[in-house]
Amino acid sequence: MKKFLFSLVFFLTGIGIVFAQDSIPAQTKKPMVKAPFESGYFIDDQTVALPPAHSLQLVIQHRFGTIQNGFTDLAGIWGGSNIRFGLDFTITKNVLIGVGTTKNKRIQDIQLKYTFLHQRKGGFPFTMGLYGNMGINCLNKTAFGTAFKSRDRFSYFGELMIAKRFCKEFSAQLGIAWVHYNIVDSTVTKRDWHVNGMHNDNLQISGIGRLKISPQTSIIATYSQSVFTYVNKKPWPNAGLGIEVSTSTHAFQIFLAAAQGIVPQEVAFYNENNPYNGMILIGFNITRLWTF
């Protein structure tokens, strides 16, 4: 499965490079449109946006408990929470690498993002990118059952992102992602919830949108849906709505969303909160940039 995912990434990247070379000759390139998003992080999703080349980015992502208990746990603020700290570095203007650590399941992740086509004025209409993530579950091996093998700790997420800046105020992005776990927690994700025999894999489709209401402030919204699972079965879709405030070096997002998992494969595979039943939580993302 890992070989398949890597082959898919290289195949899509090769298509992007050939397309860029053949359709936009160097001597006729149009000027690039401004990036469709202020941050590469968007509630629980990734965007095609990258910081400037040779930038170090600190990321703090926090999810409180659900608001179901009301004042009992102060709308989830006193409830069980999840948090991720990450560091990203842009090797070039088109390539980002990053690492992170997440509280729940003690997941350590390595990520890579690559944008291979850019929206241009009077030219190519979209910005396209690839995002890949490998997660390592570092819980004690007793959490994996009696037949534990070291490969059981690994999970993978690969996504093709297609974004467009429609005007100064509005941008949107469509994402198509493949998710794989070497071992699946059958107490959470049942085999008969899946529409086929691919119990360790899923396909996720996501859509995000941003509406600027001032030079620094935007309304942001997201929705993602796993495809290889039946309707009205876990994992539930993830939906989010929030506010983003950004500057040249900071981005702050506060929002309501359904998923408490933070790494994208956890959102796609293990979201136990049904947003249609009001199972939502308060979350925030903070990024800080240093350019060298």
Residue 131 belongs to a domain with what CATH number?
2.40.160.40
Q: Could you tell me if residue 280 is inside a domain?
A: yes
Domain that holds residue 92: 2-63+82-291
Q: According to the model, what pLDDT value does residue 197 have?
A: 66
Amino acid at 45: D
Q: Could you tell me if residue 167 is inside a domain?
A: yes
State the burial class of residue 178 (Cβ atoms within 10 Å of its Cβ: 0-12, 13-18, 19+): buried
Q: Could you tell me if residue 68 is inside a domain?
A: no
* Contact indicator for 16, 124 with CB cutoff of 8 Å: no
Q: Could you tell me if residue 71 is inside a domain?
A: no
Q: Could you tell me if residue 143 is inside a domain?
A: yes
Q: Could you tell me if residue 74 is inside a domain?
A: no
pTM exceeds 0.85, yes or no: yes
Q: Which of 263, 156, 159, 257 is nearest to 204 (CA)?
A: 159
Count of domains in the chain?
1
As averages over each run of 10 residues, the pLDDT of the chain (292 residues) reads 49 47 56 94 98 97 93 90 98 97 97 97 95 97 89 97 97 97 82 75 96 97 92 90 95 97 95 93 97 88
Helix (H) or strand (E) holding 270: helix 264-270
Q: Could you tell me if residue 256 is inside a domain?
A: yes
Q: Could you tell me if residue 267 is inside a domain?
A: yes
What single-letter DSSP state applies at residue 14? Answer: H
